[in-house]
Homo-oligomer: A and B are copies of this chain.
Amino acid sequence: APGIHNVSFHRMQYRNPRETGIHMSPIHTWQIFKSYEDKDLPCPIAVVVGHHPMFYVSANMNPPIDVSEYDLAGALMNEPLRLVASETWGNDFLVPADAEIIIEGEILPKQREPEAPFGEWTRYYGPQRSNPVVKIRAITKRHDAIYLDNFIGHRDMDCLTLGWECTVFNRVREAVPTLIDVCLPYSGCCGYHAYISIKKTVPGQPINAALAALTWGFLKLVVIVDEDIDVFDEEAVWWAVATRVQAGQQVQIVKGIRGSILDPSIGETVEHDALIIDATKPFDKPFACPINIPEEYLTRVKLEDYVNLKVL
């Protein structure tokens, strides 16, 4: 839509000094590209290398398609995102003014070239595919520009999950206002698994929370826990599963959700299944109490009464 800019992450593989490949999941960027391609037009893009961290968080969020992610980035940065006319399209396509480097290019319509293997965020090499081609139109940069890199598939990439977590958080909170927290753990590639804690005030909310999370897109496993479990502590989440779940009643599988083309286990139809584990305690029934050493005992016991601290 006019004035609506989509900001998102895409890996682009170098082909030659004026061309790269690009891989797009079938979401917003791909949808925009398709609307150009259907009219046989090249789709303008600007690669923003190096900007405010919140700019990148906004890039990883998935608001409704009619929300401008330039506005979203500004909201997250707590000041408007400063824009400037692009070299290639002038005021027809504004680009961030404060980026270290801007690479302007066009995704060419009706053109596909074999691309990849490439190390993806799943920590596998993705297979070769026929992907669109980006023609580079201009490169602008600041003096002494810093080249900001994200080593995809390695540990530092998980900073990026914040945007995805926000998206899942928003969707779940709309369905379950007493949502506490959402974690997309590194073990699940920061995208395939979600650990969600809620304060259960009405029976059934854990399933509503899970369904809302699954509407986002990549998730294949959702574990819902009570508010006493820290979702960022993976061991705590699985302890809740171990001690609060009977699989025959609290585990469900939803089949045939829109899947992720980079998922190595995905089949030909690119649909995946999702496992829902409701690891919350039953509502309004007594349940065992976790053990806990009272503060007064912890302070009463002094290590030096038992051990010569000097020899430690």
Give chain A's interface residues, CB within 8 Å of chain B.
Answer: 26, 31, 64-65, 117, 119-120, 122-127, 153, 171, 173-175, 177, 185-189, 192-193, 201-208, 211-212, 214-217, 220-221, 234-239, 241-249, 251-259, 263-267, 269-275, 278, 283, 287-291
Q: With contacts A211-B211, A220-B245, A234-B235 known, is A203 near B269, CB below 8 A? A: yes
Cα separation A269 to B278 with both chains bound (whole Å):
15
Within the assembled complex, what's the spacing in Å between the Cα atoms of A203 and B261?
11
Q: Are B125 and A289 in contact (CB under 8 A)?
A: yes
Residues of chain B with a CB closer than 8 A to A234's CB: 187, 234-235, 238
Given known pairs A171-B174, A243-B192, the reply for A256 and B187 (CB within 8 Å) is no
A234–B94 CA distance with the chains assembled, in angstroms: 45
> Out of B127, B207, B258, which one reaches A256, CB within 8 Å?
B207
| Chain A to chain B contacts (Cβ below 8 Å), 16 pairs | A26-B201, A31-B177, A119-B291, A122-B242, A122-B288, A126-B288, A175-B216, A187-B235, A187-B236, A192-B243, A203-B271, A204-B257, A208-B257, A208-B258, A220-B245, A252-B255
A contacts with B: majority SS: mixed
Residues of the B chain whose Cβ atoms lie less than 8 Å from the Cβ of A255: 207, 247-248, 252
Q: How far is the CB of A82 from the nearest CB of chain B, in Å?
A: 29
